[in-house]
Amino acid sequence: MNGPDKATVAAWIALARAHRVAMQKVETRLKEEGLPPLAWYDALWELEKVGEGGLRPFELEHALLFEQYNLSRLVDRLVKAGVVERRPCADDRRGHVLAITGEGLAIRAKIWSVYAPAIEAAVGARLSRDEAVSLARLLARIADND
């Protein structure tokens, strides 16, 4: 049975380590500032982008940047915190739509004030602009599901 060559394995290990280290640093900074975890940012950002219309839960799950194995728990926490609201779905009386609240907009902005510098420290300060463009292009090829 043939497996990946050493270069492919090394690339895989570097990708996994870089992701883990970067995410740990971001999560640590958020915690130090008393802010919610990055999963909140991801969900709030997706809801902010679509505006008043909101998203159905399955649409939010599809749009999330990070894995969210238990979206219903995340949504319950967001609703309980008052940063997201559930609204009846006009197209399906049994379903609902999730929409960001004013408080959600504010907390998303606070999280970004910590997240943005963390991205800069993890990537921008370590790579030239051309390197960042190349890395994004290469990673997009890996992420392409087609």
Cα separation, 138 vs 72, in Å, equals 33
Range of the domain at 58: 6-143
Three-state secondary structure of 67-102 = CCCCHHHHHHHHHHCCCEEEEECCCCCCCEEEEECH
Alpha-carbon dihedral 58, 116, 126, 132, rounded to 10 degrees: 50
* pLDDT tens digit sequence for 102-131: 999 999 999 999 999 999 998 999 999 999
Within-domain flag for 135? yes
Within-domain flag for 42? yes
Cα separation, 100 vs 82, in Å, equals 9
- CATH label of the domain that carries residue 67: 1.10.10.10
Within-domain flag for 78? yes
102-119 and 38-50 helices cross at what angle (nearest 10)?
A: 120
Take residue 52 and report the two structure tokens written for it. Answer: 């008043």
In this prediction the pTM is: 0.85
Each residue's pLDDT expressed in tens, for the chain with a length of 146 residues:
689 999 999 999 999 999 999 999 999 999 999 999 999 999 999 999 999 889 998 899 888 866 667 888 999 999 999 999 999 888 777 889 999 999 999 999 999 999 999 999 989 999 999 999 999 999 999 988 65
Within-domain flag for 22? yes
Nearest CA-CA partner of 107 in 26, 28, 37: 37
Take residue 64 and report the two structure tokens written for it. Answer: 């999330």
Within-domain flag for 123? yes
Within-domain flag for 1? no
What is the tally of structural domains in the chain? 1
Residue 99 confidence (pLDDT): 96
Take residue 94 and report the two structure tokens written for it. Answer: 């049994």
